[in-house]
Structure 1
Amino acid sequence: MLGRHFIDRWRVSVTERPSRFTADLVFDVRAQLHRLTDRRLRLSREYEQRILDADAGPADMLSTSDLREAAADGPIVVINVSTLRCDAIIVQDSEPRAISLPELTYTDAASIANRYHESLLATQAASGTFFDALEAASDGGWEATQRFLDASAQLRNARVEEERMLIDTSNWLWHTVVQPVKVHLALPTTNGAPLPRLWWCPTGPLVGLPLHAAGTGPGPSAESVLDWVVSSYTPTITALLSARRSAARRPSTANPGTFLLLSLSTTPGEPPLPHVVAEAESILSRLPSDRVTVLNNEKATRQRVRHGFTAHRSVHLGCHAEQDLADPSNGALVLHDGRLTVLDLGRSRSDGDFAYLSACKTGTGGVALAEESVSMAAALHFAGFHRVIATLWSVQDAVAAQVADLVYGQMIDDGRFNPSSAALALHRALVHVRELNPELPSRWSPFVHLGI
């Protein structure tokens, strides 16, 4: 996992090449591939915007039945953020409708997003300084001890600011985006029945912000998305529609197949992740051993993992990850023998039911061009996994293990794995963790669900 409770390792690796020309050529080709991957998602968003534009010609439009099919289990809310105006485009069982979001501006959204990313990066940097100082202090000495004490105070202050930022962001999202959508949808009160589903499709600076955790703040009278709907995300409407159709083509009696379990408690050059073992044990204790393929530590190579994605319909990935906020296609899972990038994942094709990315920031895209960003979670979803659970930023190792245990405790019943329950299982897990930590949104708001 990228940091989990350790620092994200933002690194640039340089490989010796026979000539500068060769190195530059390889770099240019890779950079171009990365740009093309990002551009594909951006163009997909532009295409769908035209589909939802009432002035678009018939040849450019998805049919009404296509849109209804995409929104079969609940409304899709596309949040359009531009310098001209901001709207929520609601796709439901009728014609798409745009409702104005007068309190939302591109400038404010960009400012909120910048503070959000800067605060999270500051916590990661402080965490890295802390663990470096902790290691140095183990050798003793007054100066090393003082650096450790200073680093402890810096990390504590960064975490306090992070929690404050998350609460402020949550409140802003509720009032500027969620509340107008909630009023328009007027979903019926459930009276104890299961909450309705809703899919968020944010654009621009809102990409990567925790809409699913928006609310008016901690407290018994607070309003929250978690108490209103079961949230999922989709990178595009087309991706959601494709997942629905792919899942529908599979017979209801189809064998769920084996489960791929990736567990790297130790990775060369990375801090240990002891709670990854607990995650693995949580799954292994619930599923028959002959239904699980385990790749742990040195067995978790790039080749085996890529093959595993195509050979298994459900996967759990407990490992480190890296994300490049300037070049999101270069984000990667960190495996025993190297990095498996977003670009690598995008090249794979699968017909998978479920992927759980217990690796931090797997749901995060870029910052400079957020509307063009591609995350590891989105890459797996586009590659064919119908449902994906991921995280928006680094979370503590123990918290990640706790959430995974709560999720699988609901998805596995008497040795039978039910991937279709992923969204509800994650929702209930986050509600539980929130009840235990109402003033610490960093422990429950990073986890997201993509897909059906």
Structure 2
Amino acid sequence: MRKHRILSEEWDETVEKIRKIDGSENFLQAPQFKQLQAAAVEGPVIIVNISSYRCDAIIILHHSPPVLVPLPQARSETLLDHATKLQSSREIVGVLRDIWRTIGHPVVERLSDIGIAQKSRIWWCPTSALCALPLHAAGPYRRGERNLPDIYISSYTPTLSALIRARSKISKSQGVLKLLVVGQSGKDLHRVKNEVDVIRRYEDSVDVLMDSEATRNAVLSGIMDHSRVHLACHGHLGDDNQPFRSSFELYNERLELLELIQANYLMPSSHFFQRATVQLEMLEHQMKAFTYPRHCNFVDSEVLWEHCGKCMMKMDPPLRSISMTTYFLMDQLPILRNPLRH
């Protein structure tokens, strides 16, 4: 009993010391909502929650209370089914129409009601099955009617804190944001070369590691000199209980998420884009792990939505546990300063 009391006191003292460090005042505490509202400084963030009980969207505004948007027509089972249907090009329009009817249209109407200007930027913060659905592309897709891309410019963030950290890191970076493109054009990734060509046309400062050039060491070395990384390759889930052991398939070897996180500590500003074939668990782990402390931004490209859709299924308890644990660590451990170690 005495030993337990001593350990408890040491714990409290350690936590207090950490909270005295600049930027760690809320260590192991939930951030205040006023702090989280900073995520909406450049536009509203729409958190969409789905469950078997009810579905809602919450619009986070910078200087106003959050706005609740009930989504009575949204059903978690239907949305899970939509993810599977995305594997068929014949089903895509129907899926996008239903996402518009159940989620997109109610949210757009409420955004208009509260004065959010059209053609302005909004951020989606999806949860659960919505992480594998293209909310940004929802619409009626009928002649004479506008789709969501015609009304608002959509971006994504996995959490409010991740968006705040991303902007903070970008503001501290200087010079040109160089882009590193890593590609593996295997027999089942036919569009990678075309994708790289498109990126080259639109990016002024881009370096490419393609096929045999994209070795593990070459990619890790290249990451150190670039602010952004676009990965066009396959992803793998190593162990359900170790999301940071998930990996990307490079040339004859794999690159683990943990290694990318370690490399990120040396980068001035980091944005990761991935176009890959992965399973739901891999997608979930990647999005959470990439937003671990100081790893600021992860964006799934539209090709990823297409490939991931067929793999969507209800999360089992271990996956939910991993997600919740990683989310907690991600938002509550700003004190972390040294790279994670194996």
Q: Give the TM-score normalised by structure 1.
A: 0.52
Compute the displacement of 1:360 (Å).
4.4
SS at match of 2:101: helix
Please give the alpha-carbon distance, in whole angstroms, between the structure 1 residues aligned to 2:201 and 2:99.
39
Larger Rg: 1
Kindly report which structure 2 residues correspond to 1:27-426, keeping only aligned pairs within 5 A, or say none. Answer: 60-64=30-34, 66-93=35-62, 94-104=64-74, 108-113=75-80, 115-120=81-86, 123=87, 159=88, 162-164=89-91, 166-186=92-112, 195-216=119-140, 218-250=141-173, 254-256=174-176, 258-265=178-185, 270-271=186-187, 275-283=191-199, 292-318=206-232, 320-324=233-237, 327=240, 329=243, 332-349=247-264, 350-360=267-277, 365-366=280-281, 373-375=284-286, 379-382=289-292, 384-386=295-297, 388=299, 390=301, 391-394=304-307
SS at match of 1:215: coil
How has the CA–CA distance of structure 1 residues 71 and 203 changed in structure 2, closer, same or farther, with 3 Å as cutoff? same
Please give the alpha-carbon distance, in whole angstroms, between the structure 2 residues aligned to 1:71 and 1:322.
31
Kindly report which structure 2 residues correspond to 1:17-36, keeping only aligned pairs within 5 A, or say none. Answer: none
Contact map agreement 1:70 1:237 (CA 8 A) in 2: yes
Letter in 2 for 1:81: I
Please give the alpha-carbon distance, in whole angstroms, between the structure 1 residues aligned to 2:239 and 2:93.
26
How has the CA–CA distance of structure 1 residues 80 and 112 changed in structure 2, closer, same or farther, with 3 Å as cutoff? closer
Please give the alpha-carbon distance, in whole angstroms, between the structure 1 residues aligned to 2:132 and 2:199.
28
Compute the displacement of 1:273 (Å).
5.1
Contact map agreement 1:297 1:336 (CA 8 A) in 2: yes
Count of equivalent residues: 272
Please give the alpha-carbon distance, in whole angstroms, between the structure 1 residues aligned to 2:206 and 2:48.
39
Please give the alpha-carbon distance, in whole angstroms, between the structure 2 residues aligned to 1:359 and 1:95.
38
Please give the alpha-carbon distance, in whole angstroms, between the structure 2 residues aligned to 1:352 and 1:60.
26
SS at match of 2:281: coil
Please give the alpha-carbon distance, in whole angstroms, between the structure 2 residues aligned to 1:215 and 1:286.
27
Contact map agreement 2:60 2:67 (CA 8 A) in 1: yes
How has the CA–CA distance of structure 1 residues 351 and 387 changed in structure 2, closer, same or farther, with 3 Å as cutoff? farther
Letter in 2 for 1:333: F
Q: Percent identity?
A: 28
Compute the displacement of 1:381 (Å).
4.9
Please give the alpha-carbon distance, in whole angstroms, between the structure 2 residues aligned to 1:388 and 1:179.
24
How has the CA–CA distance of structure 1 residues 211 and 380 changed in structure 2, closer, same or farther, with 3 Å as cutoff? same
| Structure 2: 5+ residue stretches without partners | 1-28, 309-342
Please give the alpha-carbon distance, in whole angstroms, between the structure 1 residues aligned to 2:69 and 2:197.
47
Which of 345-354 and 334-343 deviates more?
345-354
Please give the alpha-carbon distance, in whole angstroms, between the structure 2 residues aligned to 1:223 and 1:292.
34
How has the CA–CA distance of structure 1 residues 203 and 385 changed in structure 2, closer, same or farther, with 3 Å as cutoff? closer
Letter in 2 for 1:310: M
Please give the alpha-carbon distance, in whole angstroms, between the structure 1 residues aligned to 2:237 and 2:82.
16
Compute the displacement of 1:200 (Å).
1.0
Tell me the alpha carbon deviations over residues 45-84 of structure 1, each in whole angstroms, 9 at most, x when there is no partner.
xxxxxxxxxxxxxx644242x2332101111111122333
Q: Give the TM-score normalised by structure 2.
A: 0.66
Please give the alpha-carbon distance, in whole angstroms, between the structure 2 residues aligned to 1:170 and 1:84.
23
How has the CA–CA distance of structure 1 residues 273 and 79 changed in structure 2, closer, same or farther, with 3 Å as cutoff? closer
SS at match of 1:245: helix
How big is the alpha-carbon RMSD for the aligned residues of Structure 1 and Structure 2? 3.5
Letter in 2 for 1:295: L
How has the CA–CA distance of structure 1 residues 119 and 322 changed in structure 2, closer, same or farther, with 3 Å as cutoff? farther
Compute the displacement of 1:196 (Å).
0.8
Please give the alpha-carbon distance, in whole angstroms, between the structure 2 residues aligned to 1:293 and 1:173.
37
How has the CA–CA distance of structure 1 residues 232 and 378 changed in structure 2, closer, same or farther, with 3 Å as cutoff? farther
Tell me the alpha carbon deviations over residues 15-62 of structure 1, each in whole angstroms, 9 at most, x when there is no partner.
xxxxxxxxxxxxxxxxxxxxxxxxxxxxxxxxxxxxxxxxxxxx6442
Compute the displacement of 1:99 (Å).
2.7
Letter in 2 for 1:316: H
